[in-house]
Structure 1
């Protein structure tokens, strides 16, 4: 039986998970691939740190030693950040290796270049694990795109943010306490800004945009907001309306215009993201023919992400991967000024050009805090919030239903 030689770049949570799966499921991989999978090298940062790696395997901090492995077939990258991962994978492609990555920041910035380089060198690039951990969203979209056009995606793409919001609601805790809980459980890093400020979800929706349209939207035109400012009373007020606050990455394509947003939204009980709790990710996508589909599962973690990498590995070796479309330039991402529904928190009697659909107030530390659903355009809402800096605004997710248990009030 022949061999498939693999090198791992990075041996943290994901890299070690890939290694363990290969060692534990060797017989299964033998059957699927008809060859023995051999981890021939592991690139690490600190050579003094002890690791549970077979002593016969090359373990080094020198990428050139990894790339010098004779007949190396596949390089699997699980490093954080754009560099040095991009340089390492570029060299691996030039050597004739297929590459697999779980690095969403790298692929958002440099995925186009890697795919183009791979095409020129007749090797394959796979990146399923870069978007939603164990959820097979890349493969699902590739299958759908054979017939369907995807017109909308609404997704929870960051498990850390979703855990924090769930924990605030379930334990009636503050944001800081919920963040500390996420860090204690290993869901959040010591510096959690990449997750809670929306960067992680931003990179993932950009990757999906390029997969769907062959080009990225202009990054500067995408609204990105995190969850740092979400307070317990916001979540309590949302619940009084029958809503939950979720961190949503959304993409809508209509009349050749693309709208991409990343930030907190309120969703109703009948919205597909309402019940997504804890560290789960979920993607609700709408195709022009198939209608709405929902994929949900663990979006991060050692074995869910490693599992997605192994699935990519099998696909790459079997030569099943399709080529993604690559168009020049960037898509125009628009910020529409059409009328929509907003969830507004704060006490204000200032008049505005719109309609109040529903109003509720709660007592928070002895003070009454009011929330209302209003229907107006973005420009009018910005005028209102500029005059009333204490107001907090959340858009209502597009497919959410509105409360009907109280009479509609006209402003």
Structure 2
């Protein structure tokens, strides 16, 4: 169905979403962070042309100065961008003195770009099915997704969204959409298995991704239904856990391998809200001037944090499970990366980084972290690390150069 804006095609359809998505609404000026600063603001072509041709007396000079074309644009969705300001927050220059959007005030919501009007929403289309999730770099989205036990029950609701904002999923590597969706459903099933620790659920996902990777490389697509059936049987019988019997948590490895991720994040630009939390994490782990302490001191601090974190997580035992589930749904796991196995490595990195931040923040305090502080920490993990392409690329490079990108070593980081 097409509706509304003469310049943009708007789609109204029934969309499948976790329950927390249906509860979300932007809290605007009450938010402790801002989505209008610190990262690129992409403009779709329709919005770019509308801004360039605006005659609004207040906005026209701002558009002329700050709205720029992407010289290497490859699509109408990333046609241009708004240059960020030079202040400490790198704020959008279209904000007024009260940090409210001048475009929204003067031209209305329909004049906003897809990026601005739809954040933190992500929409994928599998065939005729639309699926919506939220980016947990938004504080309110993080609270809703991470703190409510029923956040990942699924509901279907009618939503209207710009057609250009929807990511259309295509068959990949010769695999049809129905099979791709079966793979994703099985991974969600694994991650929600109540009788297995989250660490072992992730390891089972790793096993599955490695086997899936092998079939894809050998182009044995006809064997995929058998792989799916075998995994479901192994989950039901408990056989999926047998290869994991020898794996135990190695906190000293987790601390030392994850520490460079935090060092990279401390060096990158971060919003004041994110930097405040990261500095608390760094203090808890004994960092000085952005540098990690020597191995034994780092491990001791990490162990202190783990001990203090445990009772805090007991209040919201589903917290990290929900974090991982959202990353899987938002990131089209395992179909968005170069290969399922490499995308699994990325998921392990995000999980390890999120846990490091939780542990470090817990170590910095004598008292127990509250559920709201736990959710805030994971929001910072998303905003400051998980969705920063440069930091993600750096993290993969660190693992590859140190030989930590094979499956057995990745398991020790979980």
Higher relative strand content? 1
User: TM-score, with normalisation over the residues of structure 1?
Assistant: 0.27
User: TM-score, with normalisation over the residues of structure 2?
Assistant: 0.27
Higher relative helix content? 2
Higher RCO (CA 8 Å, separation ≥ 6 residues): 2
In terms of Rg, which structure is larger?
Answer: 1
